[in-house]
């Protein structure tokens, strides 16, 4: 009679507990990696949104600054409506800047009838304030614009604020 002594009955496989531990570890690693990828994508979208809004506001503010700095005069200073400002340019032509649709998704800054901001950006706050000058200082205009991406929602929403003070040139 040939008897073999078996010390361990589990030589050929793994126990259910060992399999559950390995599956749990991989599940936790999968959750951590997925969260990291989602946060990275969200940060990337927010950065793109912020760049789009900042470029749009910067371009608009640049146009406003150039035109007002070279303006001959402000039509009514202080201006009664802070959502717009009328001026006389260096050639003697009447012109204006205004904000339309504040509080809606189609809010924008315009110059006369031309739209300065893209339809991908909405203006959330707009203010043109004229301060009369003295004999030594010319009139000045403070411009404040706040905008955000129309398409962005939740944590991806990017809000940008720009404020500047423009002194008219003395001619």
pLDDT band of residue 30 (cuts 50, 70, 90) is very high
The answer on pLDDT for 152 being more than 60 is yes
In a domain, 8, yes or no: no
> Is the Cβ–Cβ distance between 147 and 56 less than 8 Å?
yes
In a domain, 11, yes or no: no
In a domain, 131, yes or no: yes
In a domain, 152, yes or no: yes
Token pair of 101 as six digits: 């649709």
Instruction: Tell me, rounded to whole angstroms, the distance of Cα 33 from its chain centroid.
Output: 28
The answer on pLDDT for 6 being more than 70 is no
The mean pLDDT of 68-84, rounded to a whole number, is 83
> Is the Cβ–Cβ distance between 116 and 93 less than 8 Å?
no
Preceding peptide of 78 cis, ω within 30°: yes
In a domain, 35, yes or no: yes
The answer on pLDDT for 55 being more than 70 is yes
Classify 97 as helix, strand or coil.
Answer: strand
In a domain, 44, yes or no: yes
The answer on pLDDT for 28 being more than 90 is yes
pLDDT tens-digit readout, 78-121? 888 888 888 888 888 888 888 888 878 788 888 877 888 888 88
In a domain, 58, yes or no: yes
Give me the domain span that covers residue 60. Answer: 16-167
Does pTM surpass 0.85? no
In a domain, 162, yes or no: yes
The mean pLDDT of 139-147, rounded to a whole number, is 87
Identify the weakest region by mean pLDDT among 5-19, 44-58, 128-142: 5-19
* Count: domains in the chain: 1
Classify 86 as helix, strand or coil.
Answer: strand
User: What is the distance between the alpha carbons of residues 57 and 61, in angstroms, rounded to a whole number?
Assistant: 6
């Amino acid at each position: 009679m040939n008897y073999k002594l078996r010390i361990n009955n589990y030589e050929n496989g793994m126990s259910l507990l060992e399999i559950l531990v390995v599956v749990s570890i991989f599940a936790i690693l999968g959750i951590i990696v997925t969260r990291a990828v989602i946060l990275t994508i969200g940060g990337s979208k927010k950065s793109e949104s912020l760049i789009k809004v900042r470029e749009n506001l910067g371009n608009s503010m640049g146009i406003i600054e150039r035109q007002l700095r070279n303006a001959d005069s402000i039509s009514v200073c202080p201006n009664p409506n802070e959502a717009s400002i009328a001026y006389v340019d260096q050639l003697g032509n009447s012109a204006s800047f205004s904000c339309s649709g504040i509080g809606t998704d189609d809010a924008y800054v315009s110059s006369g009838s031309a739209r300065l901001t893209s339809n991908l950006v909405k203006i959330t706050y707009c203010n043109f304030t004229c301060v009369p000058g003295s004999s030594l200082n010319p009139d000045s205009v403070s411009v404040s614009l706040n905008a955000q991406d129309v398409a962005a929602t939740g944590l991806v929403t990017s809000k940008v604020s720009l404020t500047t003070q423009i002194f008219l040139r003395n001619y």
